Every structure is written in structure tokens, then in C-alpha cells.
Structure 1
Amino acid sequence: MKYQIKRVMAVGAALMISACSFYEDSLWPSLTGDDPTGNENEQKEQAVSPSTETQKAQSPRNASAQPERSIIEVGQPALGTGNFVPTGVTPGQSTGTFVGAKVKELRSELQRLQGNISQQNGELQKLRSQLVSNSRRYHGTIAAVNARLQVGTTPGNPILIQQFKSAQTDLNRLAQDVATMNTLANAIGSSSTMSAFLSESAKSALTISGAVDEDHQQLAILEDEVNRTDVLIDRLSKEVAGDVRRQTNYVTTEQANLNLTSAGIKSGEIYGGSLLNVAMASASGGLQVSAGPPRTTKNRRPLVVIRFDRNDVKYQRVLYNAVSRVLEKRADAVFDLVAVAPDSGGKARVALNSNKARRQAEGVLRSLIEMGLPPARVAIAAKTSSGTRINEVHLYIR
């Protein structure tokens, strides 16, 4: 009798462990390339590790032990420091000749041009100051959000949502500043055109007959001042163009990171930098890659397997970690995302599970896009399998 009781207790304990293992094994990244089904020993080992890690991530008391995520914070690129002040125009005396009148006209045009340059330089200095101010405010807000996510918080924390909106406003101001600077660059281009016109006009005036020596002397001084102004405009144009290029890339990068911050606030966890930014940081060439049509998964090992054995499967963080590590090593990596449904239970059940698996795969794709992965890098497919009893989504790397 005692033997029977012990046997029943042992079987009951084994069933409880199996159920717990099955529950906690809802997600496991197969980074080693092992078969997600594996053998019995492998399944038991995989079930323990993610559950332990998940419990630590969700427990505030273990927040300090949580492994920190690397956050790609490029910071605002350095702005130019040039201050472009024209040297002025040398006054001249009227000689009463036609050439003298032409010199006076050109001198007036040069003064007007230098006035425009002074105005453009003042606008540039103001824009630089605004960019620095808005950038500091933006990064201060984002740092506060990331610090809170780093230690863990509730999904959709309203305080973080408010801070996120504030950061978004600051980033929009930065984008507007960059757009204004681009408009300024176009205005400087017009000044450059005017400078070239004045230079040619001064040279042409030297060939006009009826001039006195003083006319040519004033034309020589004027031509020299036009050339100096042209050099100043060229320096101004190059520095503004460099600022626009760097700040545009910076705002684009931060917009991608901000989208990922939004996903982190939704889940209450911190991820890191946008997946596209991770790939760009690791790339040495272009990143114009596309997954194209899906490929067969036969004899391929999945990078990540997500098992949907309950309604709310927390897969985002592990998914991000896995894809991020891949992109750090292979910046041009593309992926196959496959919805897998059980093929048992009759045609109606199979059809129902297949539709549900497709929706779950679409949800995983949306998560990847929110994390910054371009949708062109992911090919979606669906299949049924006799090797699974629940819906799964597999992510393969090519």
C-alpha cells in the first residue's frame, strides 16, 4: 500500500513538473541552431533557463541583477563652429564716366549681397543654438524613460507615456530646425549665384572703353572684395550642408530609436537601439537588402521559436536580443517568418489553427517592425506540422 501511495505521488509530481515545463517553454531562442523540438532532455533544460530569466526580469527585487541592454545613443553630432562675417565694401569716388557708374552699381550690389550673408550667418547661429537646446532637452527626457525601463515598470506606464510624448515633441522641433537649416542652405546657394554674377560683371567692366585709371583701380579693389566674399559664401555653404547632412541622419536615427522606445513602454521593458541602427553600426557597405519570396525551411534550424500556448506570450525582449545579435555580426541578414499550425484535429480545426497562426505571425512581424527592422527584410510563410500540438511562429535566418 505504501509503495502504491509513493508511486502515485511520484507520478503526480512528474505530471506537475511536465505541465510547468510546458508552460514556461512558451519561448526559447534557438541561437545554437538546435532543433526546437529536440529530445526530451533538451526540452527540460530549455524550459528552466527562460523561466528563471523571465522571473528575474519581472521581479523588482532582482532589478539590479537584470542584465543591462546596450542602448545605441549616438548623441547629437557636432555642429559647425564657423562665424561668417563679411569684411565690408571699400567706398569709392564717382569719376563721372560710364564705367565709374557701373562700378558704383556693382559696389551697391555687393553691399546688398554682404548684407544677405550677414543675415544668413545670424540665422545659422540662432539655428545652431536651438538645435543644441532641443537636443539636450530630448536626450534628458529619453534618459529618464530608459532609466525607468531599465529597472522595469508596468506595461503602458502613463508617466512614461507622457515623457515619451514630450520627447516626441522635442524631436519634432529638431526635425523642424533641420528643415529650416535646409531652407537656409538653399538661400545661401542663391547668394553664391549672385556672387558669381558680380565677379563676372567686374571682369567684364574692365573691357569697357571710356574708363579712366581710377575706374580700373576701383574695379580691381571691387573684384578682390567680390572674390573674398565668394570664398566666404563657399565656406558658409559647405559648413551648412555638412550640418544639414549630419543632423538629418541624427534625427532619422533618433526617430527609429524613439519608435523602439514606444514598444518598450508598451511592454514595460527596455530593448536597446533600433535594429536598423544596429545593422548600420555593423555595416561597412550599403544596406539595401530584401528578403524576397519565402524559402523552404526544410533542414533549416530556426533562430527563434515562439510557442503560443496562452493568450499573452511575452516574446518581444528575447526576439529583440536574438535578432540584434545576428545583425551585429551580419548587417545584411534577412529572415523567414513562418506560422506553424498543428495538422491534427480534422480539416476544420486545422483551418482554424492555421488562420490563428497567421495572425500571430503578423503580430510578431509588427513587433519586429516596431523594433526597427525594415519589413523588406522579412519574408512571411505558413505551414502545418505534425511535430507540434500548439501554434508556433518560427524565425529563420538565411
Structure 2
Amino acid sequence: MTGAPRRRVTVLGATGSVGLATVDLLERHASLFAVEAVVANSDAAGLAAVARRLNARRAVVSDASAGPALAAALEGSGVATSAGAEAAVEAAALPVDWTMAAISGAAGLAPTIAAVRQGGAVALATKECLVCAGAAFMREVATAGATLLPVDSEHNALLQALGGQSVDDVERMTLTASGGPFRTWEAERIARARPEDALRHPTWSMGAKITIDSATLMNKGLELIEAHHLFAIDAERLDVVVHPQSVIHGLVTFRDGAVTAGLAAADMRVPIAHALGHPQRLATPAARLDLARIGSLTFEAPDMGRFPALRLAREALAAGGAAATVLNAANEVAVAAFLAREIGFGDIPRLVEDSLEAADRQGLTAAPETIAEAIDLDVEIRSLASGRLPEARLRAH
């Protein structure tokens, strides 16, 4: 990249864990990048600090009520500010070379699709785009001629392990899972887990929602759905293996029996740097693997009995249609209720399964044809799942 013009970048979700890891890399390679915009939900103080660190041209909070605080925090800085959902989409649509899409939840759909439509490279950490609206989202990517770069450690590892070869040559893609904090717990103890128990992830430091998804293994199920769309690979060739050391992040088995794997320290700056520098490499401060010190790597099959969320995600992927959209929306409602201590940990997959069955009975089975349809269905399913919360609360108490 030496001697090349600075690449223009935007960071969506700039105050989250992935966003801050991106900010760290942009700071370390400031001579290579010019930051057009940084976007967050409501953390005005955090976003203002990020905007100053990166000398961003614009800072946007999607929560309109946080707008005055952002403007005050950046007064005199020369950084333009705006607020509201529409402002976030407008910032995402600004013409840049590279966008980090790391707004969690279905709220990330509209800004991410705006980034895709402007045709640059999009580093995707917002899994809901592919889970809620996979086929429609990938059509948008193709129409815009955008470059989609996965930054989930597992999908990034698969991309690198694939090495540019055709998916037709792939016999199996395997995602690894740490197993979460409850890997060795008995089912009865898992069902009684509290939020503080579920938030103690053994290897990764992440936001609350994704950490709970890792504890239920729903996160791994959502990643299977993502991989299906990202790599245009059928569900039968996707697999999950539990690997507690989180050293290997993904494996590709080719039809000749050869296996390639993506290994790295459990540091999100590794896959983010791969996407940020693509097609070249950027230096990172991430720890280097010392396999002799690690000593051994272990693997085990996931237990669908103790972790039914993974089974539900597999079934949703196999069912197709609207099942993945329903799964994701119901899971977001369930996780929020668990974090609020309204339902128990074991009620998360039960509420998701109840919602899937209710959606099926109501005929909500057709896959969204557009992003707008996916957003509408997400809203409808959230309402449906929320309506089933009283029953789950009774079970919890």
C-alpha cells in the first residue's frame, strides 16, 4: 500500500468490540486510511472519543436522543455530527473504499445495505444481514458489484483456508466453537444459569448479546447460516466442532481429502486486519501462536441435547424460507429477556422454538425477497415472540 492514496473508510458500530478493534488498527495505520464517518447507536461520549482519535470527518448516532450530547462533545473539533436512523443510513451510503459493518442486531440491516449499494468493500460483522435476509442481501452485493469480506473469525478463517479455490472442490467446511462457559456443565445446571454466568466467555471478549449466543451455541448456528450464504455452499457440507482452545477457527476439507485450517490467536484484530488490508496484509499487535507452549488441541462433537439452540439453527437452515429470519428475531427477544432476568437461560431456546412453530402455523414461511420484506418480517416476529414472553416468565419464576 506504500505510496498509494489513502483509502477512505467508514466504521459502522464504532463503539462496539469489533468497532473498537477496527479503530485500533486504523490508528496504527493512520497513514493508509482517511476516515469518512464513524457511526454508533447511542454512546455519544464513546463515539466522540473515537472520532477525535481517527480525525473522522463525520460522527453519527442512530439514536436521535443522543444527538445533542454528541454535538456538545465534538463542539469545536471540526467533526460534523448528525443523529437518527436516517442519518446513520446516509452516513453508510457515503462513497468510500471500505466499510466496517459492525452494528449488531437487525438494526444493522439498513445501514449495511446502504454501504453495499455504494459499491465498495464491506467488511461484514453484522451477521443478521445474512441470517435475516441472506438471499436478498447477496443479490444486493452482486448487483452493486461490492466486495464482501467476512470478519467473523470463523468465516474469515474459512475464506483464507479456501485459498481462492472453487467451492465445488470442497467436501466440507467446519466451523469451530469454543463451547462457551457451559461446555462441561450438566443440562440441569445450564438451565439454571444466570446472566453473569453466561457472560463469562472463556476465550473471547465480546458484547453481551453475542456472548449469550455463544453460551447457548446459537451463535454457531447463526454462523452456519452465514456460511451457507457467504460461500454458496449447501447445508449438508457445513459442520461444527467444539474446540475449547480457540486456536483453529475454521477448516476446509477438499474432495481429495486434503484439509486446510485457519489458525490465529483469539484476537479480532487478526480477521479485521485481513479484511482491512485486503488483498494485502497489515501488521497487527495480536499475540503470535506458540504451538509448543499450547501443547495440545482438543476437539469434541457439539451436544445438541444440552445446547438445543444449535439444533434449532440447523433445522432452520435446512427448512429454508423464512425460518432463519424467524429464528434470529425470536432469539434477539429471548436473549434480551434473559439479560433483563425476565426468563431463565433454558427458556431462550424454548421461546425460539415456540416462535418458529407459531410462525409456521400463521403461514409466515416465505423467504423475504427484499431487505424491506426482511425488516418487516423481523418486526412481526419480534411482536410474536414478545407476546409469548409471559408464558416463559411463568416458567422462569
Q: What band does the TM-score fall into relative to the shorter chain?
A: under 0.3
Bigger helix fraction:
1
By relative contact order (CA 8 Å, sep 6+), the higher-ranking structure is 1
Q: Taking structure 2 as the reference length, what is the TM-score of the superposition?
A: 0.23
Q: Taking structure 1 as the reference length, what is the TM-score of the superposition?
A: 0.23
